[in-house]
């Protein structure tokens, strides 16, 4: 059987795959099993921060795998502690809980908000406000947090206690806070799956203000926007706010499964011994990969991400297509169905993503300019 036939026969049909099999990759290029070359504008959905098989990253992973691949969280181990210190130092946060995915990082955020509210206001203050068109994950709680009804059908009842506000509607948000017993507010600064919609700065600041005024937990889901993707280490840094909780995953370990929930000093005390856990959380190989990713994301690198984002935006806007997003998290409004644009790009050797009706680009953060120029040429031609 071919790869496709075996996969179709044995892998659960939850993914509608494109008709290619990726066999190998090198930097921002990958190859299918027929040897066709593609420029990758997907990073495995914002995961491969430094592209495929990056030598620095691969060495960090291989060295740790040869030293110690797993210990369980019964013991201390260096990579996990060192990574937590890096994350806290660079964000001003107090403590980190490590897990393996974005959904789990958000589960932890929800537990922190509920535990904080229960301790400070009472157990009935359990509601969490999220936004319409948000995406927070596929577990039953993070699905409930996801403000898109089409994801909910088939799986009800979901975890209760989620309320949805419209993005950028400050008055609507104020009403929800006033009329309900609320534990916290959870937002993506740029809604990824929802269509690469950056929130207004005033709205993000209003979320923070309402949290301060009402003693709520202000949570930012940086699963997609985090780890340099938007041209800052974390996207909240564009908005002049300081969250109580930041959840992240995708690009954190550059291609290995790792999630993290960062907690400020105000809330970090609510999780005590035994309150939360994860067998694989903080895994030494994943943590070593994440340390290598973090250590390369200095200010010059982040400025370069922002500059590449501006380059794409200018060229695509000049060609006549509206562009949304921040840094190298980009949405483009096509004039024909996005599936046709994706197919034309793929045909011409460029892999792209979609988000709702938009073409979405999440290239490796270190994509070389010559490849980026070529990819943008193909994308503009495919849009036309």
Q: Which two tokens stand for residue 243?
A: 């969250």
Of residues 55-114, those binding ligand PLP (CB under 6 A) = 101-103, 106
Cβ-based nearer residue to ligand PLP, 103 or 330:
103
Residue 280 DSSP label: S
**Beta 245-248 vs 259-263: how paired, if at all?**
antiparallel
Q: Does 192 bind ligand PLP (CB under 6 A)?
A: yes
Of residues 251-270, those binding ligand PLP (CB under 6 A) = none
Q: Could you tell me which residues are beta bridge partners of residue 325?
A: 330
Nearest approach in angstroms of CB 142 to ligand PLP is 7
Q: Pick the stretch among 8-16, 187-195, 291-299, 374-382 that binds ligand PLP (CB under 6 A).
A: 187-195
Q: Does 188 bind ligand PLP (CB under 6 A)?
A: yes
Nearest approach in angstroms of CB 379 to ligand PLP is 22
Q: Using CA atoms, how far apart are residues 308 and 375, in angstroms rounded to an integer? A: 12
Q: Using CA atoms, how far apart are residues 185 and 201, in angstroms rounded to an integer? A: 16
Cβ(49)–Cβ(43) below 8 Å: yes
Of residues 211-230, those binding ligand PLP (CB under 6 A) = 221, 223-224
Q: Does 51 bind ligand PLP (CB under 6 A)?
A: no
Cβ(235)–Cβ(198) below 8 Å: no
Q: Which two tokens stand for residue 298?
A: 């200095």
Alpha carbons within 13 angstroms on the beta-carbon side of residue 104 total 18
Cβ-based nearer residue to ligand PLP, 204 or 376:
204
- Using the CB atoms, write b or e for 109-134: b if 16+ within 10 Å: bbbbbbbbbeeebeeebbbbbbbbbb
Nearest approach in angstroms of CB 286 to ligand PLP is 13
Name the nearest CA neighbour of 379 among 325, 337, 332.
Answer: 332
What is the residue-wise DSSP string for 132-196?
Answer: BT----SSHHHHHHSB-GGGTTTSPSPPS-EEEE-TT-HHHHHHHHHHS-EEEEEE-SEETTTTS
Nearest approach in angstroms of CB 324 to ligand PLP is 15
Nearest approach in angstroms of CB 106 to ligand PLP is 6
Nearest approach in angstroms of CB 66 to ligand PLP is 27
Cβ-based nearer residue to ligand PLP, 95 or 138:
138
Q: Pick the stretch among 7-15, 120-128, 133-141, 160-168 that binds ligand PLP (CB under 6 A).
A: 133-141
| The binder of ligand PLP chosen from 185, 249, 345, 372 (CB under 6 A) | 249
Cβ-based nearer residue to ligand PLP, 219 or 344:
219
Cβ-based nearer residue to ligand PLP, 80 or 99:
99
Q: Pick the stretch among 76-84, 118-126, 132-140, 230-238 that binds ligand PLP (CB under 6 A).
A: 132-140
Cβ-based nearer residue to ligand PLP, 140 or 380:
140
Q: Does 248 bind ligand PLP (CB under 6 A)?
A: no
Cβ-based nearer residue to ligand PLP, 54 or 221:
221
DSSP 3-state percent helix, strand, coil across the chain (nearest 5): 40, 20, 40
Cβ(329)–Cβ(18) below 8 Å: no
- The closest residue (CB) to ligand PLP is 102
Name the nearest CA neighbour of 232 among 323, 298, 283.
Answer: 298
Residue 11 DSSP label: S
Nearest approach in angstroms of CB 237 to ligand PLP is 17
Q: Does 360 bind ligand PLP (CB under 6 A)?
A: no
Residue 200 DSSP label: P
By CB under 6 A, name the binding residues for ligand PLP. Answer: 101-103, 106, 135-137, 188, 192-193, 221, 223-224, 249-250
């Amino acid at each position: 059987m071919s790869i496709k036939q075996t996969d179709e026969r044995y892998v659960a049909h939850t993914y509608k795959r494109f008709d290619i099999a990726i066999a190998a990759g090198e930097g921002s290029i990958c190859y299918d099993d027929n040897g066709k070359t593609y420029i990758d504008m997907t990073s495995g959905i914002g995961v491969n921060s430094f592209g495929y098989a990056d030598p620095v990253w691969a060495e960090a992973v291989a060295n740790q795998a040869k030293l110690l691949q797993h210990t369980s969280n019964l013991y201390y181990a260096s990579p996990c502690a060192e990574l937590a210190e890096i994350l806290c130092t660079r964000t001003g946060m107090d403590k980190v809980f490590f897990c393996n995915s974005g959904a789990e990082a958000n589960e932890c955020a929800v537990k922190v908000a509920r535990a904080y509210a229960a301790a400070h206001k009472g157990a009935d203050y359990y509601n969490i406000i999220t936004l319409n068109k948000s995406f927070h994950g596929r577990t039953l709680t993070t699905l409930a947090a996801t403000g898109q009804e089409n994801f909910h059908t088939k799986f009800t009842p979901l975890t209760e206690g989620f309320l949805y506000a419209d993005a950028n509607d400050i008055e609507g948000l104020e009403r929800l806070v006033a009329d309900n017993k609320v534990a916290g507010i959870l937002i993506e600064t740029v809604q990824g799956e929802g269509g690469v919609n950056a929130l207004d700065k005033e709205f993000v600041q209003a979320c923070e203000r309402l949290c301060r005024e009402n003693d709520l937990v202000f949570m930012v889901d940086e699963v997609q926007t985090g780890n340099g993707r938007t041209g800052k280490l974390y996207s909240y840094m564009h908005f002049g706010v300081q969250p109580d909780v930041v959840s992240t995953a995708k690009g954190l370990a550059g291609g290995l499964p790792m999630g993290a929930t960062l907690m400020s000093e105000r809330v970090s005390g609510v999780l005590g011994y035994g309150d939360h856990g994860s067998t694989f959380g903080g895994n030494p190989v994943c943590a070593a990969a994440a340390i290598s990713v973090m250590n390369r994301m200095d200010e010059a690198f982040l400025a370069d991400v922002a500059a590449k984002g501006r380059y794409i935006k200018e060229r695509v806007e000049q060609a006549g297509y509206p562009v949304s997003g921040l840094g190298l998290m980009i949405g483009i409004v096509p004039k024909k169905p996005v599936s046709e644009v994706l197919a034309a790009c793929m045909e011409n050797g460029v892999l792209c993503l979609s988000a709702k009706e938009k073409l979405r680009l999440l290239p490796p953060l270190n994509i070389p300019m010559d490849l980026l120029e070529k990819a943008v040429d193909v994308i503009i031609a495919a849009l036309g």
